[in-house]
């Protein structure tokens, strides 16, 4: 479990932002943004839903006659790898037939601005659809993997292996094999019941403990350990700004809350003007 280092616990007061939180305060946020040198952006399903990516958790998370969450497990892959691969081919097909929206694009453009000014912006995403990369972002940590990569079930070899948007029904004898050892490969996804990659978690922790501004975009912050990241930033006394469709903030310690579609609120907050 991610814990705040002792030096940060000692150095920063806990922010009680209930009285300080500002709703849709774009001017106030931009003053904070202009002074930030190291920014992290935590993104979740809400940012991709505006591109048409369905949410595979919750009430709508069904595929054919299966609950999607039941297929996203090591046990499901062990018992029926062909079915799980067919499900993930469907998810790849959906992702390849959508496009980055204005929220993805605004983050990409602001990352370029930060780079030109000697500042740093990194995205830590729970999404596996690759839309941040397609929008042009570079500093991306994918907490839960990537739909377009595979990992060998017998070794740690990872490989991007999807080149088109076809949607075949996967026969068991035709399941993808490792290029190095010919063992069965699986989607490079962190499934329910599995731990995050150690190196991915380490890099995320370093960013959480060193940033001076955190943006939470399109996530309800209920999946751990990602759900702890923004509150830990707030505990260090650093501002957190939430961009979400909901009217109520996910955490009362966040300094700013911008309700509405992320594609609209985020580009306004970042001062990015996108051309069609």
Average pLDDT in the 82-99 region? 93
Between 94 and 11, the more confident residue is 94
| pLDDT score of 14 more than 80 | no
Report whether 53 belongs to an annotated binding site.
no
- What strands, in cross-sheet order, belong to the sheet with 145-152? 158-160, 145-152, 185-189
Kindly list the structural domains of the chain, giving each domain's residue range(s) and its CATH number in brackets, ordered by start.
1-53+100-144+196-276 (3.40.50.1220), 55-97+145-189 (3.30.1600.10)
For the question of residue 144 being annotated catalytic, the response is yes
pLDDT at res. 62? 79
Residues 6 or more apart from 276 whose CB is under 8 A from it? none
Q: Judge contact between 149 and 161, C-beta under 8 A.
A: yes
User: Is 245 flagged in the annotation as binding?
Assistant: yes
Quick one: tokens of 97? Answer: 């037939």
Strand partners, 244: 259
The answer to which of 51-55, 109-113, 247-251 has the lowest mean pLDDT is 247-251
Alpha helix stretches (DSSP H) within 72-164: 74-79, 81-96, 102-116, 131-135
Element (H, E) at 201: helix 198-210
Q: Which of 16, 119, 120, 144 is catalytic?
A: 144
- Mean pLDDT computed over every residue of the chain: 85
For residue 62, what is the enclosing H or E element? strand 62-63
Residue 155 pLDDT exceeds 80: no
pLDDT band at 275 (very low <50, low <70, confident <90, very high): confident
Model confidence at 6: pLDDT above 50: no
Place of tokens 């004898």: 173
Does the annotation flag 181 for ligand binding? yes
Highest mean pLDDT among 159-168, 212-221, 234-243, 245-254: 234-243
Confirm whether residue 244 is marked as ligand binding: yes
- 97 belongs to an annotated ligand binding site: no
- The span from the first CA to the last CA of the chain, in angstroms, equals 43
- How much of the chain is in helix, strand and coil states, percent to nearest 5? 35, 20, 45
């Amino acid at each position: 479990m991610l814990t705040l280092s002792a030096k940060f616990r000692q150095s920063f007061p806990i922010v009680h932002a209930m009285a300080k939180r500002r709703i849709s305060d774009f001017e106030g946020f931009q003053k904070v943004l202009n002074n930030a040198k190291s920014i992290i952006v935590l993104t979740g399903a809400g940012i991709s839903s505006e591109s048409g990516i369905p949410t595979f958790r919750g009430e709508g998370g069904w595929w054919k006659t299966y609950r999607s969450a039941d297929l996203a497990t090591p046990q499901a892959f062990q018992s029926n790898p062909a079915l799980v691969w067919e499900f993930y081919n469907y998810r790849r097909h959906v992702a390849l037939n959508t496009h980055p929206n204005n929220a993805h694009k605004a983050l990409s453009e602001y990352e370029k601005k930060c780079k030109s000014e000697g500042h740093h912006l990194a995205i830590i995403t729970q999404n596996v659809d690759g839309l941040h990369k397609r929008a042009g972002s570079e500093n991306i940590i994918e907490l839960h993997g990537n739909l377009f990569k595979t990992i060998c079930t017998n070794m740690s070899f990872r490989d991007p292996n999807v080149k088109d948007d076809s949607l075949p029904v996967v026969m068991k004898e035709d399941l993808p094999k490792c290029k190095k050892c010919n063992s069965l490969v699986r989607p490079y996804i962190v499934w329910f019941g599995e731990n995050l990659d150690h190196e991915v978690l380490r890099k995320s922790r370093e960013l959480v403990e060193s940033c001076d501004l955190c943006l939470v975009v399109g996530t309800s912050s209920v999946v751990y350990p990602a759900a702890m990241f923004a509150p830990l930033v707030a505990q260090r006394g650093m501002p957190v700004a939430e961009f979400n469709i909901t009217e109520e903030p996910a955490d009362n310690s966040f300094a700013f809350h911008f309700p509405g579609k992320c594609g609209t609120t985020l580009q306004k907050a970042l001062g990015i003007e996108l051309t069609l």
